[in-house]
């Protein structure tokens, strides 16, 4: 399999990354994309990570080709009879020409070499295929938890620990080149019910948190732990955690 260099911020904690991702993507999103695709034979989920999006797509497509440049992420992905997981960079998928009706990228477009990736999309796409790239923004729980999370995100971690590509996610990918005829989709949100332990696990799975721990030998969650506990209340209680999503989709021409 061809190899390429890529910025891998997640393999070192792939198991925790898989465990503490924010649940499933909305089923309504995949239904909307499947309705646009020319058929439901094969979808390519690029940079699949732990297979979070691939699992949802498997409910609607006969076959899911799920690729990721990280072998550790692929090893942590959840198996499914309709999903074939392969270690491959986004720019060199190894898929056949004109073989997929839909290409999805969830929370990963900002890491790619975009000209090379878009060339690969055009190579593997069937006529009238759709490319859909989504990202989710910072989550919301309640004003107190959100304030503590913001202090962690920008005040403690900030530009010193977040990779610069993260800014593209914060802008909803609107600043990235997208040379396709765009499709307008409705708004979607991701939502889970989490305990405080699960929420802290999610914050700890951030690449910036892991970079902070590696550099300083201590957990930055300790600096906001009391604030989070006070704002959460009973740590065993579940609270709704909501992530607004942005989707850029287009016809591959």
At a CB cut-off of 8 Å and minimum separation 6, what does 154 contact? none
- CB proximity list for 99: less than 8 A, separation 6 or greater: 42, 124, 126
DSSP-based three-state secondary structure for 101: strand
Q: What is the pLDDT of residues 57-83, one digit of tens each?
A: 999 999 999 999 999 999 999 999 999
Confirm if 208 and 10 have CB atoms less than 8 A apart: no
**Which of 32, 60, 24 is closest to 247 using CA atoms?**
32
Share of the chain above pLDDT 90, in %: 87
pLDDT band at 137 (very low <50, low <70, confident <90, very high): confident
By CB neighbour count within 10 A (0-12 exposed, 13-18 middle, 19+ buried), where does 134 fall?
A: buried
Mean of the per-residue pLDDT values for the chain? Answer: 91
Domain 11-251 has CATH 3.30.1180.10: no
Range from 13-22, 28-37, 114-123 carrying the lowest mean pLDDT: 13-22
Q: Is residue 12 scored above 70 in pLDDT? A: no
Strand partners, 65: 44, 84
pLDDT of residue 23: 64
Q: What does each C-alpha distance from 153 to 106, 138, 148 come to in angstroms? A: 21, 9, 9
Q: What is the pLDDT of residue 21?
A: 60
132-148: average pLDDT: 94
pTM: 0.85
182-232 pLDDT, tens digit each: 999 999 999 999 999 999 999 999 999 999 999 999 999 999 999 999 999
């Amino acid at each position: 399999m061809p190899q390429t260099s890529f910025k891998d911020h997640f393999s070192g904690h792939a198991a925790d990354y898989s465990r503490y991702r924010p649940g499933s993507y909305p089923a309504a999103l995949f239904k909307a994309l499947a309705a646009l695709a020319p058929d439901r034979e094969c979808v390519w989920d690029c940079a699949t990570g732990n297979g979070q999006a691939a699992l949802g797509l498997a409910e609607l497509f006969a076959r899911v080709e799920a690729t990721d440049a990280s072998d550790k992420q692929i090893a942590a992905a959840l198996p499914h009879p309709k999903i074939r997981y392969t270690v491959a960079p986004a720019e060199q998928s190894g898929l056949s020409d004109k073989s997929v009706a839909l290409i999805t990228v969830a929370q990963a477009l900002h890491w790619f070499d975009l000209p090379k990736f878009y060339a690969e999309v055009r190579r593997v796409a069937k006529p009238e295929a759709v490319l859909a790239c989504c990202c989710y923004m910072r989550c919301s729980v309640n004003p107190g938890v959100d304030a503590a999370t913001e202090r962690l995100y920008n005040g403690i971690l900030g530009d010193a620990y977040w990779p610069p590509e993260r800014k593209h996610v914060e802008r909803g990918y609107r600043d990235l080149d997208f040379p396709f005829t765009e499709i307008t989709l409705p708004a979607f949100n991701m939502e889970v019910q989490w305990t405080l332990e699960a929420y802290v696990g999610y914050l700890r799975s951030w690449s910036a948190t892991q970079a902070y721990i590696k550099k300083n030998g201590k957990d930055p969650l300790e600096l906001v732990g009391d604030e989070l506990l006070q704002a959460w209340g009973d740590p065993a209680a579940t609270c709704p955690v909501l992530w607004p999503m942005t989707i850029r989709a287009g016809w591959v021409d």
